[in-house]
Structure 1
Amino acid sequence: MAEARRAAVLGSPIAHSLSPVLHRAAYRELGLGTWSYDRFEVDEAALPAFVEGLDASWAGLSLTMPLKRAVIPLLDEVTATAASVEAVNTVVFTADGRRVGDNTDIPGMIAAMRERGVEKVESAAVLGAGATASSALAALSLICTGPVTAYVRSAARAQEMRGWGERLGVDVRTADWAEAAGAFEAPLVVATTPAGTTDALAAAVPGAPGTLFDVLYEPWPTPLATAWGAHGGAVVGGLDLLVHQAVLQVEQMTGRTPAPLAAMREAGERALASR
């Protein structure tokens, strides 16, 4: 019988995570009957002991907030992609026991946009300045040939985003959140803010907008995404990102390619519909 292998998603809070649904769907499709994928409520203080307690049956971990930076000191190696934004969302345990950290959010964003026909843009706008915004800038560094305007709520956040821009080679300009409706003139708008933050902007969506990438998947669709689609714009959602980054995690942890994108997306859609 094949050796039992384990993987899980860690974070706090974690009960809402769709990762188990996606990864288990992949295992079923790939015939990995001895693989399991769970979720564990783990905060920054508990993370070192949790990682040290894992045995050789573990193949990998998915990490969500607030662990993406906290895990870095516990790793033997971090990929250039993860190092570029100081955030690890994937840990793979190698056959010789090493812990390798990667960030699949960034290539996951690019894959999600490519699926909707977004290959290159001349400019872009980012709503928000949190951890997801820095990953968005890293993705935009590969597809945006011109400036990126970040709409933020404070001078400190503006400085932080400009700093990420310098580090990632992106021409980042900043504007006050009060002017956020101005973002909609860009061919690509990436909304990285928590639920409810952009709701008031829905009324400002212009006719014939470009592409909106709203990283939320619950609740979905957001008022902004609904208004965007109603005006004829293309919409990339948070589930698109979640599925594409999970596909890359499954491939890294199992060594099986390609991961079953369609089956994983269908499982995620079913799970969200039942909530």
Structure 2
Amino acid sequence: MKIAFSPCPNDTFVFHAAVHGLVPNVPKLDVTYADIDKTNYWAAEGKGPEIQKISYAALPWVLDDYALIPCGGALGRGCGPLVLTVGNDQSPKALSGKRVAVPSERSTAYLLFRLWASKVVPGGIGEIVVMPFHEIMPAVRDGKIDAGLVIHEARFTYQAFDLKMLVDLGQWWEEDTQLPIPLGAIVAHRSLDTVAIEKWIRASVEYAWSNPKASEAYVMEHAQELSREVAKSHIDLYVNDFTRDLGDAGFDAVASLLGRAGAEGLVPEFDLGLLRK
């Protein structure tokens, strides 16, 4: 069975046991390591593996063909994307008419940014520039872009680029909605036994927590030059109870994000009921 997830520490930590045959009833997995800026479009175009890690923001494009698996993903609190600048003006108006780099236009980070900016940036953003997330902080530092929307481990490392945080969009979202932040989702093609997939993904999560040292070499192999301390911080932040099971709070957060985005015309119309089917 083919599966795609990112090389980020949270994903390799979660799927280590499944990939290495350490939990029962898992088919042999053929893994593609790809960030969500690729899998979001693969799933929407009917390409790529049968199981994929995508952004929750991309669900409206794929739910007719893919089912949301309510475990294995990334959703939580205190783990939202950041908007970074180098300027002394740290007010939202500083972004008016400016160029902002984002990692994907089908990411939760992008939806949160657009929802926030529509409320607080007078006149709106000038231009959105999509670039790989690891290139964003250097581009802001070097003045190639006015501000950057960053995700993943960048929240732990941006100070090394002499950047300033204009807003923590996760904090804004949580204060505005009282809900956690939906980031990365696991989806499986509806032709598959999604109940069985849910069981072995949850078993892989449980194994990772019970045997945290077992995945360490695998995590660091794919950690994109992160230190062990940063990789551990990444895992501790993004792998939580919502990774075990979305639950009602998780589903409510996803529905709220996509409902708001739909009202702003940021995602296509879709049946919210498909989130639980």
TM-score, scaled to structure 2? 0.36
Structure ranking higher in helix proportion: 2
Give the structure-1-normalised TM-score. Answer: 0.36
